[in-house]
Structure 1
Amino acid sequence: MKKAVILFNLGGPDSLSAVRPFLFNLFYDKRIVNLPNPFRFLLAKFISKRRENTAQEIYEHIGGKSPILENTKAQADALELKLNEDGNHVYKIFICMRYWHPFADEVVKSVKQFDPDEIILLPLYPQYSTTTTLSSIENWQKNDKKHSLECNTTIINNYYDNEDFIEAHTNLTAKYYKLASKIGKPRVLFSAHSLPLSIIKKGDPYASQIEKTVKLIVKKLNIEDLDWGICYQSKVGPVKWLEPSTESEFSRAKADDIPVVLSPISFVSEHSETLVELDIEYKAIIKDGYYFRVPTLSTDLLFIKCLADLCLDHSQSPDL
């Protein structure tokens, strides 16, 4: 049997000139900005133009483009190798980005050429949100209908409590906690992408799944009197978002004069929000030498095993 695994990720601009269209695609998503057209279209045009220069400055710090596609390709290669180990089935991994190339429209055509017996939709979002997971799945379904891609399809909705996922995070966090402990008693901050409270109030399970992920890691760390907290980054606009903010927690740690171990808990690939926001902007708040950033899981062996097992075991059900 031939199986196609569709790895969903956010995507990112591959050049400075791609920044504005990337931002437009992001803010034109009805799961991000819930307005009818033409208002959503006009607002997306306005925001993408207004934020273009600021965003370009961010990407200039990391070589003028987002590294998320290269990161995701490395994950796809590792996952494909793992899935094809036993030789019972042929697995092929396809990367599908939401807001920049490769778009669902392009990927559906490639999958149709591959002609699989089964398709597995696997978002690189461990915690389910309507703004990420659902947005990617809906966009895929719209495009597979458009190109008449008819195939038995499995959707993996989340894996925020998967044992290997938790263990991978625990191992990395413990390693950086040990390093930070040489300076003093560290505070572990688990940083996740924030969401407007209005989305959470509509029943989005993201925040509760973030909390469950973190509590499982804290339990597995098994460190006596562990000083830890959850915080949220990347807020945009004036509406109320999930709090406390990562920035305010960094300021609090600075005031307490303690080292910080920062774990990006909702990101599994390095990109502008980890490499610039966390490692440049927020790092500048903390006392020099007091910042210990846990890397994203990326191609961590346990994380790749987690993804492979999810594809092999279709008993995963939505937790909504």
Structure 2
Amino acid sequence: MDLPAEPAPPPGLSGSRPRLAVVLFNLGGPDAPESVRPFLVNLFTDPAILRVPGWVRPWLGRLIAWRRTKPASENYAILGGRSPLLELTLEQAAALEAALNAEGSVEAKAFVAMRYWHPMTEETVAQVKAWAPDEILLLPLYPQFSTTTTGSSMLAWDKAARRAGLDVPTTTLCCFHSDPAFAAATARIVRGAWDKARAELDPAVKLRILFSAHGLPESIVTAGDPYQWQVEQSVAQVVDRLGIEELDHVVCYQSRVTPQKWIGPSTEAELERAGHDKVAVLVVPIAFTSEHSETLVELDVEYREEAEKLGVPGYFRAPAQNSDTGFVAALAGLVRAARASGRSLCSFAGARQCPKACRDCPHEKANADRRAKVAA
């Protein structure tokens, strides 16, 4: 006979340690072939993604999802009909929870909220409320902030929390693009891939690193989205820690899905340039911290085939962070810093970049300088 679950103790009564709920945000992905279309509908009807008048978005988003279902299904078929993103994110959550609890200062529990497929925000809000934490920390697994990713997830969380009556002190860590521990952990992964590639290549063949990030329409960036600037900062920090003299590298962008002008250069264009220059490439997914279709299919299959056609003399790819111990340690450090700060760290809000409450953000001056250059 199953016994009823014991109710969660009231906040502050579970022991001497405060109960900390850490919510990890990620994109989500279909968990079965029949989930592909509804996943795409959720994606393309999000106002942060499809920036058209509200009255046209529902039917246009569904039309786009319908047109993209077949090619997306073919991509997911390569992965066994489903995305691995949820399992990988749950592994990251478990590793982070263990790291935080090992420190002994809090009783931490990590939750996962996916933006476009289950467990979706409303489900996770209910789980967090049932656990009755003393405080909540929101931690997106996007190192660089964009209104299309972290911004959308935060808005969804705020709405769901209000509807559920979840009123708990909440801190938001909205970006960590230049965090030293994150950069160091990423550089170690890249250096390992670099050394492996160099060992396989003829010494006479040069090797170029393509730091590939998901692209955005240029209009979103010029409106004030800090994503491109933050990607560039991440690359600068990683390159600095690689310590490779005269490193040949470039920042590029993948996954264009609309006819608008997107930020560049594109990863495809950089592969073409590499073929022309007869240099091998090491592709680094600088904005993805978990493997998913855009790394396992777009980078590993589609771009590899394109590189071969273009005569690129070698194609290599660095893995995403997943549950790398250095990356998890970096996340734990970010959680500690955010809790100690007493405010949300490095917050951005669309075209305003940093909200007034966070004008002391150490990155705001650099962001202001970049906005001035764009305006000029």
The answer to whether the superposition gives a TM-score over 0.5 is: yes
> Which residue of 43, 49, 55 maps to 1:26?
43
> Offset at 1:88?
2.3
Per the TM alignment, residue 291 of structure 1 is displaced from its structure 2 partner at its CA by 1.3
Gaps of 5+ in 1: none
* 1:268 Cα offset (Å): 0.2
Larger deviation: 82-91 or 202-211?
Answer: 82-91
Partner of 2:271: 250
1:313 aligns with 337
| Distance (Å, rounded) in 1 between the aligned partners of 2:104 and 2:85 | 29
Which residue of 27, 31, 52 corresponds with 1:35? 52
2:85 corresponds to 1:68: yes
Distance 1:200 1:289 in 2: 34
User: For residues 164-175 of structure 1, what are the structure 2 equivalents within 5 Å?
Assistant: 164-175=181-192
Give, in angstroms, the shift of residue 108 of structure 1: 0.7
Distance 1:82 1:165 in 2: 15
Normalising by structure 2, report the TM-score: 0.83
Backbone CA RMSD of aligned residues:
1.2
How much has 1:120 moved relative to structure 2? 0.3
Q: Which residue of 2 aligns with 1:12?
A: 29
1:87-121 CA distances to partner (integer Å, 9 max, x unpaired)?
A: 22110011000000001111111111100000000
1:295 equivalent among 319, 331, 351: 319
The 3 A distance-change label for structure 1 pair 86 and 224 is: closer
| Contact 2:275/2:313 (<8 A) preserved | no
* 1:146 and 2:175 correspond: no
Report % sequence identity: 47
Q: Give me the whole-angstrom Cα distance separating, in 2, the residues matched to 1:229 and 1:88.
A: 42
Task: String of CA shifts for 1:27-59, please: whole Å, max 9, x gaps.
Answer: 111111122333000111100111111110010
Check whether the contact 1:186–1:258 (CA below 8 A) recurs between aligned residues. yes
> Does the alignment pair 1:80 with 2:105?
no
Q: Partners in 2 of 1:237 and 1:34 — Cα distance? A: 12
Aligned to 2:175: 158
The alpha carbon displacement at 1:265 in A equals 0.2
Alignment-mate amino acid for residue 87 of structure 1 = G
1:158–1:318 contact (8 Å) kept in structure 2: yes
Distance 1:302 1:120 in 2: 20
Aligned length: 320
1:266 matched residue in structure 2:
287
| CA deviation profile, 1:8-36 (whole Å, cap 9, x unmatched) | 00000011111111001001111111223
The aligned counterpart of 2:356 is none
Shift of 1:64: 0.3
Gaps of 5+ in 2: 1-17, 354-376
Name the residue aligned to 2:370: none
Contact residue 278 and residue 313 of structure 2 kept, 8 A = no
Runs of 4 or more above 3 Å deviation: none
Task: Give the match's secondary structure for 2:71.
Answer: helix
Q: Comparing 205-214 with 289-298, which one deviates more in the overlay?
A: 289-298
Q: What SS does structure 2 have at the residue aligned with 1:6?
A: strand
**Counterpart contact for 1:160–1:209, Cα < 8 Å:** yes
AA of the residue aligned to 1:64: G
Output one character per residue of 1:263-297: Cα deviation in whole Å (capped at 9) or x when no partner: 00000000000000000000112248711100001
- Contact 1:254-1:285 within 8 A present in 2 as well: no
CA contact (8 A) 1:128 1:205 kept: yes
Give yes or no for contact 1:180–1:259 (8 Å, CA) kept in 2: no
Letter in 2 for 1:222: G
Q: How does 1:179-258 map to 2 (within 5 A)?
A: 179-182=196-199, 183=201, 184-258=205-279
Aligned pairs for 1:57-136 (under 5 A) are: 57-136=74-153
Q: Secondary structure at the match of 2:148?
A: helix
> What is the SS of the residue equivalent to 1:215?
helix
